[in-house]
Structure 1
Amino acid sequence: MAIIDPRLDGADQAEARPLWQRLGWMVAIWLGSVLTLGAVAWVIRSWLNSPQN
């Protein structure tokens, strides 16, 4: 059973995704942004800590 937004009308309700799927996308986007931020921070830290010539 899917939880669907009651404010949606006929055609929009048919296209609405289940709550678990909408939350899954939100978690995936959050996790991707956290990993990207971590990678950028690692690159900057490596660059700043590199030996100077």
Structure 2
Amino acid sequence: MPSLPTLRQLAYLVELAQRLNFHAAAEAQFVTQSTISAGIKELETLLGVQLV
């Protein structure tokens, strides 16, 4: 069975899409910019596509 994205990864992606800025997305999610970046990278790896 293939792995599914976590709700956290999806929340990071939605926040990033809304704000179009890693720093602003991180602030809105109350995490660091590197946490958002790592979450998006994991999601890209999981899906096998480049999202940003």
* TM-score category (smaller protein): 0.3 to 0.5
Q: TM-score, normalised by structure 2?
A: 0.38
- Greater RCO between the two (CA within 8 Å, min separation 6)? 2
Q: TM-score, normalised by structure 1?
A: 0.37
